[in-house]
């Protein structure tokens, strides 16, 4: 079992973020000890890492909550959860494409600065 601070370190988030996720209903699986402090199992860590991944890739909290609710419902929601992941994957790939396009523009600008061609810098 892990404390909230241990989980925060393991998952590279703050304890405040974990408390926020709990308040938003993303951590219904987390238990509490006799003192009322959150306690986390190894299985909880896996789910928290998934939550962080989804959040880091732009999934809204409300959609993450729905996904977690489906997990809590069990195997009968497996296909729905799979569909959610497939759709989110498409969105992440779209984001990657957009980032690559932006990176190409940045690389072009850097290359132009490296050539010291002021006229070209103004055009692009």
> Average pLDDT of 34-51?
93
Instruction: Give residue 114's pLDDT.
Output: 81
Give the span between the Cα atoms of 110 and 101, in whole angstroms.
14
Confidence of residue 101 (pLDDT cuts 50, 70, 90): very high
Give the span between the Cα atoms of 22 and 40, in whole angstroms.
12
Give the span between the Cα atoms of 64 and 95, in whole angstroms.
18
Taking alpha carbons only, the member of 33, 36, 40, 87 closest to residue 60 is 87
Q: Is the pLDDT of residue 123 over 70?
A: no
Confidence of residue 110 (pLDDT cuts 50, 70, 90): confident
């Amino acid at each position: 079992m892990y404390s909230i601070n241990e989980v925060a370190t393991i998952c590279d988030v703050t304890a405040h973020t974990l408390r926020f996720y709990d308040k938003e209903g993303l951590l219904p699986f987390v238990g509490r000890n006799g003192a009322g402090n959150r306690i986390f199992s190894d299985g909880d860590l896996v789910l928290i890492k998934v939550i962080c991944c989804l959040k880091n890739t732009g999934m809204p909290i409300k959609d993450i909550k729905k996904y977690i609710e489906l997990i809590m419902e069990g195997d009968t929601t497996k296909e729905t959860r799979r569909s959610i992941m497939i759709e989110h994957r498409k969105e992440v790939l779209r984001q990657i494409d957009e980032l690559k396009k932006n990176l190409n523009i940045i690389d072009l600008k850097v290359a132009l600065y490296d050539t010291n061609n002021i006229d070209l810098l103004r055009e692009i």
